[in-house]
Amino acid sequence: MTKRTILITILAIFLAISFVTAAQPLPHAFEGKIIAKDGTETNMKTITAKINGVTTAIEKINNDSYAIVIIDNTGLGGQIEFFIGEEKATTTYSFKAFEVTKADLIFNTIPDETTGSCGDGICAVEECSFCAIDCPVSKCLNNNVCDTAIGEDYMTAPSDCIICGDGTCNGGETCSTCAADCGACSMPTSSGSGGGSGGGGSGYNPKKTLIEEQNQTISNLTKTNDNLGIGIATLNENIEDEVIEVKGKNKFLNWITGHATIDEDGNYTRNNVSPIIITIILVLSIGIYVFYRGKRKRK
């Protein structure tokens, strides 16, 4: 199996996963030769790929050739740079999801192999900001830093990315906890000049303002309930008036139809089925039965 076949297979797997989960990360594969302008040996050196300065892949160079799959953890794309140690390749590339790019990487020189912590599989605290291959979002939660380089945002890491001063009033931010994002709380209106009482004035107290707003809300709810009570009382009075109007009226009609009846004393009676209707149905049934029985006898 060739390197290209392997890379295409890996991309196909990532593509299938992305369709199933509809989630990041997205891959972009590269393969080609490593060329050192000064002729330095490149075999078995380590090549590192970074997107926007964040390490996303590390592979070994074999026989001056490389094959590497770069992962975009943020879904934002960006510029890809290749490094051997601190030496950067002369060309950068734009991230293109699910593509295989054949590119020979040229370096001015190949430095001595240096072993860094990024790529060792251990997520050190400081690596959350630059080493996505060691530090997924799940390992960098609750460190009080919004590590956007590895994909943290308000949705994936709300505990880290609710930042007062980021221009967005989200999470638990309020006007009293973060005026920079949510705006200043409304100032209470004062009646009178307040005269000088020893200097210092009556400074703005956000906590007091919040309590006043809550009290006003409670007061409004109380008024609404009072109005509702008045409305219900009026409705009951109207119903009582209508009941009085039908007292003693249409008793015979109500008895026939099976509707409710109200006597002079206001007693309510519900006739589920009228006796007259039942009698009529029985008479009709008997008449039909007698008619068809006589008809059969004549035959």
- Segment 40-46 long-range contacts (CB within 8 Å, at least 24 positions apart): 40/109, 40/110, 41/110, 42/84, 42/107, 42/110, 45/84, 45/110, 45/113, 46/84, 46/85, 46/113, 46/119
30 and 84 fall within a common domain: yes
Residue where the block lists tokens 């008619």: 291
Residue where the block lists tokens 């994909």: 151
Position 288 in a domain: yes
Q: How far is 246 from 244, CA to CA, in rounded Å? A: 6
Tokens (6 digits) for 81: 């740079």
Position 135 in a domain: no
Regions of the chain where pLDDT drops below 50: 19-23, 191-202, 246, 248
Q: How far is 65 from 3, CA to CA, in rounded Å? A: 10
- Can you give the pLDDT at residue 65? 95
211 and 286 fall within a common domain: no
Last residue of a domain, one of 114, 145, 175: 114
26 and 87 fall within a common domain: yes
Q: Which of 113, 103, 110, 133 is nearest to 121 (CA)?
A: 133
- Can you give the pLDDT at residue 21? 42
Tokens (6 digits) for 42: 């490149």
287 and 215 fall within a common domain: no
228 and 257 fall within a common domain: no
If 0-12 CB within 10 Å is exposed, 13-18 middle and 19+ buried, where does residue 172 land? exposed
For residue 279, the SS3 value is helix
Q: Which of 272, 232, 267 is nearest to 254 (CA)?
A: 272
Position 210 in a domain: yes
110 and 212 fall within a common domain: no
What's the domain range around 282? Answer: 251-298
Tokens (6 digits) for 158: 């709300």
CA quadruple 174, 178, 181, 185: dihedral, nearest 10: 60
Q: Which residues pair with 62 in a beta bridge?
A: 65
CB-CB contact of 225 with 217 (8 Å): no
The DSSP output letter for 138 is G
Q: How far is 18 from 32, CA to CA, in rounded Å? A: 26
- Can you give the pLDDT at residue 201? 47
260 and 241 fall within a common domain: no
29 and 93 fall within a common domain: yes
87 and 15 fall within a common domain: yes
- Express the helix, strand and coil content of the chain in percent, nearest 5 each: 35, 20, 45
Position 131 in a domain: no
Residue where the block lists tokens 């950068």: 92
48 and 106 fall within a common domain: yes
Greatest Cα pair distance in the chain: 125
110 and 7 fall within a common domain: yes
Count of domains forming the chain: 3
Q: How far is 134 from 54, CA to CA, in rounded Å? A: 11
Q: How far is 229 from 16, CA to CA, in rounded Å? A: 61
H/E segment holding residue 25: none
- Can you give the pLDDT at residue 101? 94
241 and 291 fall within a common domain: no
- Can you give the pLDDT at residue 238? 61
